[in-house]
A and B are shown apart, each in its own frame.
Chain A
Amino acid sequence: MTAVAAREIEFRDALREAMSEEMRRDTRVMLLGEEVAQYNGAYKVSRGMLDEFGPRRVIDTPISESGFAGMAIGAAMLGLRPIVEFMSWSFSLVAADQILNNAPKMLYMSGGQFGCPIVFRGNDGAGGQLGSTHSWSVEGLYSNVPGLTMAIPSNPYDAKGLMKTAIRCDDPVFFLESERLLGMKGEVPEEEYLIPFGQARVARRGDDCTIVAFGRPVHLALEAAEALAKEGVSCEVLDMRTIRPLDAGSIVSSVRRTGACVVVDQSWSFGSPGSEVASLVHRECFDDLDNHVHRVHSADVPTPYAHALEQEYLPNPRRICEAVRSCLYRA
């Protein structure tokens, strides 16, 4: 960024700016989902878009995830570039067959004839006391599938730049937002920019331990790093920005320098981005490590409702600090 006067906007506004700019630029882009038009979005991400683009391009759908996700995939096969809003990624499970069997496999099973340039976006993650069924972190579940890309921004600047890249991407993009972050304000320049996929951001420089994080947990990792700094522990925090593709090179070069790695991933631990990163680091940095990779995930239980239990369930700064200390033999 240059010396242009900083403009601060909310995460949700950054998402809307990205979608609106791309819709002005390319008439093949349209937005559809539950309550996106007349209601202005269940979380006000699409506020005002119906007024600008009209009902042909900002489309209210019934509560029918399998139907409208599949409809958007069919349209994408034909050359449109739909953005599908899931009010919550938890509801995407209803459309699992469409978004997992059709979108990411179409190019492959058609022998390269039909791609699927589509963005699925919505709220991901727990933290709002929504109970077990509405609190999904789908990173682990969906990142398992080849053919899809997965972006998970942690701040307004990244949200806008990654969303614009997502809309121009020729492959299906699973774009994971966080309801807990939608009101977060951050610097977003007026001028156009895109953030490439597969390029991590160094959120904090440090020398003793690399903390690899995705999405909202980046902020928890930064809090932990701040607390650890007071103990004389210097942490480097990597905000991965995308899970597929994974910027493996940035992880590896950081860990080779620090010699320690903690990964923070809000999905469950079994078969997850966290386990993928651990596997990667153990393979590529085996001789550089002084301890095995430590992992901080959501607890391996269904998401509880009670506030105290939910806070303990989620990755939190205390658990991240404990993991870093343990990894550095300071526990």
Chain B
Amino acid sequence: MANRDRPQTEAPGEPFMNVHGAPPSGVVRHEHPTVDAALARAWLRQMLLIREFELRCMQAYQDKKIGGFCHVYIGQEAVAVGCVAAVEATDPIVTAYRDHGHALARGMEARHCMAEMFGRAGGCAKGKGGSMHMFDRAHNLFGGHGIVGAQVPLGVGLAFGTKYLDEVVNGGRSSRVTLAFLGDGALNQGSVHEAMNLAGLFDLPIVFVCENNGYSMGTAIARGTTMGHNISAKAAAYGYEGLVIDGMDVLTVYAEMKAIVERVRSTCRPVFVDMRTYRYKGHSMSDPRKYRTREEEEQYEMDDPIGAIKGHLEARGMTEEEFKALQRDVRTEVRGAMEWSESSPAPPVADLYRDVYIERWGTYTGSSQPEMLGGAENAPQFQAFDPKADLL
């Protein structure tokens, strides 16, 4: 490990003043990671997949195949891929609205992710969520959430829930760790601070991964956040560790997060991570990025997370041809996802009233046409209760 001020083009001794401010001395990048080459190659593939997926999303958005808001993850791929690799499949994850990368890294098939954005029945949420609401129960992804910071109390609840299920319901030891992702813009939301307080108070096994890309939409972090140059200091106020990680290098993200996650698993004490990263594109599709300079963007693009892992693998013997084969592979996969999504049907209109309630009080058709319940003859029947049912 070595302290690393980036980019290296700056004059020696003068820290580069980027959007994150002067790099705190704690930003680390692992120079000699010891990770299995096949694993590292799988991460490269995932990162290439996310980038290709997002580029295709942008195109599809321009073509009006995707509606509403769409926030792409280009530039931040190392964060989701490295963090997801550092946890177990049974560890819950919750994130904000820039969520395609987390969904793909967690194992959601690209076609279900794309079909969701196309508003098709084959989408992960049957076309009812959209770009900001990627949910995947099978992969313990508890959403994509749209309101800034609102997913952080949910993440604390997931950590509370796993600990409660493991210890109170099942009588064992707390075994799972929750990852709650948030952006640096969420740091100024009350709900985030309430959640961080509760996590410390209740000793919850959670890692708050603050994907610090330097901008809340168009507002640079220093313009909206006190101590913006050193946000991990905020964790100290809640009585736990705050760390800074170079989020542009997947090997570093993985190595650091792996250690943090295992520590949290055994101590049940939360950790806050200032994950330094950068989004190359705008906040959403309609953002012309007039609040920052092209020079700044180029500085970060020189530090590209895909370039970093590619360079690492090349040093370990990966050929250019092998890299190109990976690129072709993900292109084929994303093209297939697009085609599949195009052919996936629109949700049936009957679905409009489905999944509003689990309990049934007659066919639900909305309050303007309330179901004609009436007296004892239409009393709802409760299903036999199985206390072991549906426990994760």
Contacts and interface: CB of A to CB of B under 8 A. Distances in A.
Interface of A: 25-28, 30, 56-57, 59, 61-62, 64, 66-80, 97-98, 101-102, 106-115, 146-147, 149, 165, 168-171, 194, 196-200, 244-250, 252-253, 276, 279-280
B370 A245 contact: yes
Interface in B90-130: 92, 94, 123-129
Contacts, number: 218
A73 B154 CA distance: 6
Contacts of B315: none
Interface string B143-154: 101110010111
Contact of A146 (B164, B356, B392): B356
Interface stretch (B26-34, B188-196, B245-253): B188-196
22 contacts: A61-B198, A67-B156, A67-B197, A71-B195, A75-B161, A79-B390, A79-B391, A80-B164, A97-B191, A101-B146, A102-B150, A102-B154, A111-B127, A111-B129, A112-B355, A114-B135, A146-B367, A168-B382, A196-B379, A197-B361, A247-B373, A280-B370
Interface of B: 92, 94, 123-129, 133, 135-137, 142-143, 145-147, 150, 152-162, 164-165, 167-169, 190-191, 194-195, 197-198, 201-202, 354-359, 361-362, 366-368, 370-376, 378-380, 382, 385, 387, 390-392
A198 B164 contact: no
Contact of B358 (A75, A115, A194): A115
B143 A75 contact: no
A65 to B, nearest CB: 8
A25 B387 CA distance: 9
A-B pairs, 7 with minimum CB distance? A74-B157, A249-B374, A70-B153, A67-B194, A111-B125, A78-B161, A111-B126
Given A62-B197, A78-B158, 9 more contacts: A67-B195, A77-B158, A199-B378, A245-B361, A247-B374, A248-B370, A248-B371, A248-B374, A250-B374
A199 B379 contact: yes
Contact of B153 (A73, A110, A250): A73
Contact of A97 (B133, B147, B201): B147
Nearest to B374: A249
A74 B156 contact: yes
Interface-centre pick from B358, B359, B366, B379 (highest chain A CB count, 10 A) = B359
Contact of A75 (B152, B160, B167, B197): B160
Contacts of A200: 375
A131 to B, nearest CB: 24
A73 B198 CA distance: 14
Contacts of B164: 30, 56, 75, 80
B266 to A, nearest CB: 20
Nearest to A146: B356
A126 B162 CA distance: 39
Interface-centre pick from A30, A110, A146, A197 (highest chain B CB count, 10 A) = A110
Contacts of B387: 25-28
A25 B125 CA distance: 33
Contact of A74 (B161, B190, B362, B378): B161
Contacts of B125: 109-111, 113
A97 B123 contact: no
Given A66-B191, A76-B157, A101-B150, A248 B167 contact: no
Contacts of B358: 107, 115, 170-171
If over half of B's interface residues share one DSSP class (helix, strand or loop), that class is named, otherwise mixed; here it is loop
Given A80-B161, A111-B126, A247-B373, A169 B359 contact: yes
A110 B133 contact: yes
Contacts of B198: 61-62, 64, 67-68, 71
A28 B168 CA distance: 8
A114 B358 CA distance: 10
Nearest to A63: B194
Contacts of B392: 78-79
A196 B382 CA distance: 9
Contacts of A196: 379-380, 382
A146 B167 contact: no
B161 A79 contact: yes
A248 B154 contact: no
B380 A57 contact: no
A70 B152 CA distance: 8
Nearest to B133: A109
A182 to B, nearest CB: 27
Contacts of B380: 196-198
A64 B165 contact: no
A111 B128 contact: yes
A246 B129 contact: no
B126 to A, nearest CB: 4
Contacts of B94: 74
B160 A74 contact: yes
Interface-centre pick from B152, B159, B202, B357 (highest chain A CB count, 10 A) = B357
B372 to A, nearest CB: 4
Nearest to B146: A101
B142 A249 contact: no
Contacts of B123: 111
A78 B165 contact: yes
Contacts of B368: 279
Contacts of A72: 157
Nearest to A27: B169
Contacts of B190: 66
Contacts of A30: 164, 168
A107 B125 CA distance: 9
A64 B154 contact: no
Given A70-B156, A71-B157, A72-B157, A79 B165 contact: yes
A247 B377 CA distance: 12
A102 B195 CA distance: 15
Contacts of A197: 359, 361, 380
Contacts of B136: 113
A101 B356 contact: no
Contact of B194 (A26, A64, A246): A64
Contact of B354 (A59, A77, A112, A276): A112
A279 B367 CA distance: 11
B176 to A, nearest CB: 10
Contacts of B128: 108-111
Contacts of B137: 110, 113-114
